[in-house]
Chains A and B, each alone.
Chain A
Amino acid sequence: MSDQQEKNNKKKSLQLKEGLQQKKQEQPSSLIKVENLKTWLQSGGDTIKAVDGVSFSIEKGQTFCLVGESGSGKSIMALSIIQLLPEGISHHPDGEVIFDWRKDDETHEHVNMLTLDEARLCDIRGSRIAMIFQEPMTSLNPVYSIGEQITESLLLHHHGMSETEAKSRALQAMNDVKIKNAESRFNNYPHQLSGGQRQRVMIAMALACEPDLLIADEPTTALDVTVQAEILKLIRELQERKKMSVLFITHDFGVVAQIAHKVGVMKQGKLVEFGDTEQVLRQPQNDYSKKLLAAVPENLPRREKNTEVTEPLIEVNNLDVFFPIRKGLFQRVVDNIRAVDDVSLNINKGKVVALVGESGSGKTTLGRAILQLQAPTAGSVKIQGTELVGLSNKELRPWRKKMQIAFQDPQSSLNPRLLIATALTEPMKVHGIGNSDDERIELAAEVLQAVQLERDFLWRYPHEFSGGQRQRIGLARALALNPEFIVCDEITSALDVSVQAEVLELLLDIRKQRDLTLLFITHNISVVEYLSDETVVMKDGKIVEQGITSDVCGNPQQIYTQKLIEAVPRL
């Protein structure tokens, strides 16, 4: 034991010291042990107990998944371990994080990360504990090539390593994360890579120094499902090969089932459940974990699908939406981005049609082109037999109230300057619904009740609501004009799983009551399976496959659809 360790231990009570040593003997292989960790954040005059007495340990060579909804403190937990918390506003009133530090000369030392001085923390960070983040776009420096960035992190942590050696190690790391043609990719800049490749580079950077613990904070959340499957597979393989431990933070139980040996469920800074993956997922003990698992779309009670044959409400024929690429002095159109490419589609009355696709597949553009929010380049969109393409704004107005849209981002979908009452009644006024302002207020209150919100909310501003509430208000606004057709553009993607379940149920209730037709745009296959009657799969602006949901999801015919369905992480 070094002086530092002894000094640290002196601070602790004798009892705790003995307790720790005892546990060490029982579990000799645990790499990191978190004991009663508390991380409190100072915000204004309030103290937020972001992490409030959490204890767990991660064994060597195992993957520990920390699951929780937003605000449960899982990311702060990870930052506390690696000691990257925002300075000045955070402190640890209690607890310790004991890390088994393997030094370069292969001797081991048990250190408490919370009390370690900055110089020694820097030795551990990056070389022994590495971290990857959610957003691969912003975690790489855009002005250096990816090769330089990997090499730099190597040179930093291995004193005396020559540049050529670092380069070959970096190449090796890039090969490890299966970046094809690593040699030629070495000098590429981050913007030349796709999101999945960037995340691979991040992993390569993290793994180049062969850490013992990899902390991954939602590394696949921003990625498409097929890319996510590849990245998860990669992390799993690397973890087995390099015998490292992984602390994996996620909100997705499907991902947990794919990757974890052990799971911890967090709620409001507390670890409410901890155990083996199988046990937690199959027989959760805690009420909160039970509720969370029940809210996963796969576990939601199945409903009967609408199989009646009905008239088409919306007919889309050979629709094109192109965005021209202009170049040169005279802004000549050299090529088009074919966002929607020759799409034909019927949406039948009373059905829930799911439009599925990965990012960039043109599903949002198609939704907006149907509503004439995006002018189509060519083709036709008919509602109840009336052609909409080419109508002027004035001619469109009577049709506008029949078709509405609800958006993904609860932050930007409501005008922050207007009362909810104004937001709901202004379109009514324009379309001549209700005779007086008071009557329209009554109607708005009814719509709010339909989305299970209180009447009182009319007199509030958007910033006073939570994400789930805003999403309901977004729905209420779409419902205010009593439309027949609503495009729901990823409306549950930004929500926590339990809130998502509530919004989905609500949506189905409203659909039934008001006999609505829905076009539900999403990337989440499990939501599609739960919700929709028919499914349309899009890729690169084209429709790949369409049909009854059970057929498309249960027995996909096209190779792309098969790949997509296969990539979905299942419980």
Chain B
Amino acid sequence: MRKAGETFTQRILRQSFSGWGAKIGLIWVGILTLLAVFAPFIANSMPLLVSENGNLSAPVLRYLTTEDIIVLAAFFILLFLFLSPLRQSLKTLLFVFLLMIVGVTIVSKQFVVEQENIVYENFRHDLNSEKYDWAVMPMIPYAPRDYLRDVRRLPLEAPLADKQYVHWMGTEENGGDVLSRMVHASRIALGIGFLATGIAMVIGVILGGLMGYFSGIVDMLGMRLVEIFESIPTLFLLLTFVAFFGRSIYIMMVIIGLTSWSGYARYIRAEFLRLRKQDFVQATIASGLPLRSILFRHMLPNGVAPLLVGVSFGVASAILAEATLSFLGLGLVDSPSWGQMLNQAVKSSVFNWWMAVFPGGAIFMTVFAYNLMGEALRDAIDPQLAKKAGVVG
């Protein structure tokens, strides 16, 4: 009975991703997501699968951390919900997703034993000692923190210099494999983008929506709050926090989120102020619909479009903020991040080009990809603007 035509959202998405720019952006972010989710299986020192006297075992699973499991679970739950034939409303889907994630977190906290110090040398020893009948190794057979101290004396090595232990992108100053570290670092890059922007978006939508709908005194107070938050320099606040509370990626995400919502609040406020006077909103009031429905069913979906554009640029700037911080040497100590790798490249006395080019290129590509998508979204939402700019669609 219900066969609907193309929805507004579908139309916007189709138009956005019909151009090559947005497609490239989407493909790049898609690759990054896959890398981030399957990082332990792509780059690790332990074998994926071994046969020991006829018994099969997967050492890599034994060393998965809670974080790995949550990320993997989130990915597969999302994939399942997206592909499942059950067509539920977005609200229920989100609820189911959160519920399942919390469940997985609790379960994995119970059962996963975090391995504090993994001795990577042992794996190589096992592999060489013909203990296994056969073994399947990951694509990049080095863990990000495997510094290969047993293998070589000089840690720094250019790409493809060693014939026995091949490093496609060379090694960093401790001897870790650059490619492996970059794969694992994509998690931080994506995570900080999504989480920081997510926090900012939620705060921005709620405050901006209230300001726009009620206007008057609420609007005035809200806008003053926005101005206060806009005058906070995020980077210096981050520096201060890192100095006092130590280095934690989650604190960074929260601070970036808490200080960057003002832009989204402004967007939503302006949209709601405009929508309030629109005829179809007046019609919902005339039909006596409850405020909840007016705000969230009729106004928000119509006002969210410019926000999405802002978000895609916001993700890019959050990634840059983390990279900046790591570059200044105030990021995470041991966990790999692109900015931190750039920092190493600069600190070294000789210019090791592979240390600068690969992480730098990854940051550039990611920020560029988000900007491309943001640009395409904006053009699809506001075709007038694209026409004025001379972009023939």
Q: Which residues of A contact B (CB under 8 A)?
A: 88, 368, 371, 373, 393, 396-397, 400-401, 403-405, 407-409, 412-419, 426-427, 430-431, 441, 459-461, 463-464, 474, 477-478, 481
Query: Per-residue CB proximity of B1-37 to A under 8 Å, as 1/0?
Result: 1111111110100000000000000000000000000
Q: How far is A371 from B291 in the complex, measured between Cα atoms in Å?
A: 17
Q: Does B174 contact A (CB under 8 A)?
A: no
Contacts of A426 in B (CB 8 A): 287, 289, 293, 297
Q: Does B54 contact A (CB under 8 A)?
A: no
Contacts of A404 in B (CB 8 A): 286-287
Contacts of B8 in A (CB 8 A): 416-417, 461, 463
Contacts of B4 in A (CB 8 A): 419, 459-461
- Residues facing A in B277-323 (CB within 8 A) are 278-280, 282-291, 293, 297-298, 301-302
Contact B7–A460 (Cβ < 8 Å): no
Q: Looking across the interface, which residue of chain B has its beta carbon closest to that of A416?
A: B8
Q: How far is A276 from B57 in the complex, measured between Cα atoms in Å?
A: 96
Q: Looking across the interface, which residue of chain A has its beta carbon closest to that of B280?
A: A415
Q: Looking across the interface, which residue of chain A has its beta carbon closest to that of B290?
A: A430
Contact A427–B3 (Cβ < 8 Å): no
Contact A401–B5 (Cβ < 8 Å): no
Give the one of B2, B287, B297 with max A CB within 10 A.
Answer: B287
Give the one of B1, B2, B279 with max A CB within 10 A.
Answer: B279
Contact B288–A396 (Cβ < 8 Å): yes
Q: How far is A407 from B301 in the complex, measured between Cα atoms in Å?
A: 21
Q: Give me the 9 closest cross-chain CB pairs, A-B, nearest first.
A: A400-B288, A427-B287, A407-B279, A413-B279, A397-B288, A417-B301, A415-B280, A412-B279, A459-B4
Contact B302–A415 (Cβ < 8 Å): yes
Q: How far is A393 from B288 in the complex, measured between Cα atoms in Å?
A: 8
Shortest Cβ distance from A86 into chain B, in angstroms?
A: 10
Q: Which residues of B contact A (CB under 8 A)?
A: 1-9, 11, 278-280, 282-291, 293, 297-298, 301-302, 392
Q: How far is A401 from B315 in the complex, measured between Cα atoms in Å?
A: 45
List 6 contacting pairs A-B, 8 Å CB cutoff, sorted by A: A88-B392, A417-B7, A426-B289, A430-B287, A430-B288, A430-B289
Assuming the A-B contacts A419-B4, A459-B3, A461-B7, are A427 and B289 also in contact, with contact meaning beta carbons closer than 8 angstroms in the complex?
yes
Contacts of B392 in A (CB 8 A): 88
Contact among B6, B9, B286, B297 with A400 in the assembled complex (CB-CB below 8 Å): B286
Q: How far is A397 from B294 in the complex, measured between Cα atoms in Å?
A: 14
A-B contact count (CB 8 A): 82
Q: How far is A431 from B286 in the complex, measured between Cα atoms in Å?
A: 12
Contacts of B9 in A (CB 8 A): 417
Shortest Cβ distance from B167 into chain A, in angstroms?
A: 50
Contact B287–A481 (Cβ < 8 Å): yes
Contacts of B290 in A (CB 8 A): 430
Contact B282–A460 (Cβ < 8 Å): no
Q: How far is A400 from B7 in the complex, measured between Cα atoms in Å?
A: 29
Q: How far is A467 from B283 in the complex, measured between Cα atoms in Å?
A: 18
Contacts of A431 in B (CB 8 A): 287-288
Shortest Cβ distance from A52 into chain B, in angstroms?
A: 24
Q: How far is A426 from B294 in the complex, measured between Cα atoms in Å?
A: 11
Contacts of B289 in A (CB 8 A): 426-427, 430
Shortest Cβ distance from B67 into chain A, in angstroms?
A: 37
Extra contacts, 7 of them, besides A409-B279, A461-B6 (Cβ < 8 A), are A397-B288, A400-B287, A401-B288, A412-B278, A415-B284, A430-B287, A459-B4
Shortest Cβ distance from B132 into chain A, in angstroms?
A: 58
Contact among A371, A413, A415, A459 with B298 in the assembled complex (CB-CB below 8 Å): A415
Contacts of B297 in A (CB 8 A): 418, 426
Contacts of B282 in A (CB 8 A): 368, 373, 405, 407
Q: How far is A464 from B10 in the complex, measured between Cα atoms in Å?
A: 14
Q: How far is A413 from B3 in the complex, measured between Cα atoms in Å?
A: 23
Contacts of B301 in A (CB 8 A): 417
Contacts of B291 in A (CB 8 A): 393
Q: How far is A400 from B283 in the complex, measured between Cα atoms in Å?
A: 10
Contacts of A396 in B (CB 8 A): 288
Shortest Cβ distance from A430 into chain B, in angstroms?
A: 6
Q: How far is A404 from B293 in the complex, measured between Cα atoms in Å?
A: 18
Shortest Cβ distance from B221 into chain A, in angstroms?
A: 14
Q: How far is A474 from B282 in the complex, measured between Cα atoms in Å?
A: 12
Assuming the A-B contacts A404-B287, A459-B5, A460-B5, are A416 and B302 also in contact, with contact meaning beta carbons closer than 8 angstroms in the complex?
yes
Shortest Cβ distance from A490 into chain B, in angstroms?
A: 11
Q: How far is A371 from B3 in the complex, measured between Cα atoms in Å?
A: 35
Contacts of B288 in A (CB 8 A): 393, 396-397, 400-401, 427, 430-431
Q: How far is A473 from B209 in the complex, measured between Cα atoms in Å?
A: 29
Contact B280–A414 (Cβ < 8 Å): yes
Assuming the A-B contacts A407-B279, A426-B293, are A464 and B287 also in contact, with contact meaning beta carbons closer than 8 angstroms in the complex?
no
Q: How far is A413 from B282 in the complex, measured between Cα atoms in Å?
A: 9
Contacts of B278 in A (CB 8 A): 412
Contact A407–B302 (Cβ < 8 Å): no
Contacts of A397 in B (CB 8 A): 288
Contacts of B283 in A (CB 8 A): 405, 407, 413, 474, 477-478
Q: How far is A431 from B289 in the complex, measured between Cα atoms in Å?
A: 9
Q: How far is A397 from B392 in the complex, measured between Cα atoms in Å?
A: 48
Contact B5–A461 (Cβ < 8 Å): yes
Contacts of B2 in A (CB 8 A): 459
Shortest Cβ distance from A206 into chain B, in angstroms?
A: 26
Q: How far is A393 from B392 in the complex, measured between Cα atoms in Å?
A: 48
Shortest Cβ distance from A121 into chain B, in angstroms?
A: 22
Contact among A393, A441, A464 with B5 in the assembled complex (CB-CB below 8 Å): A464
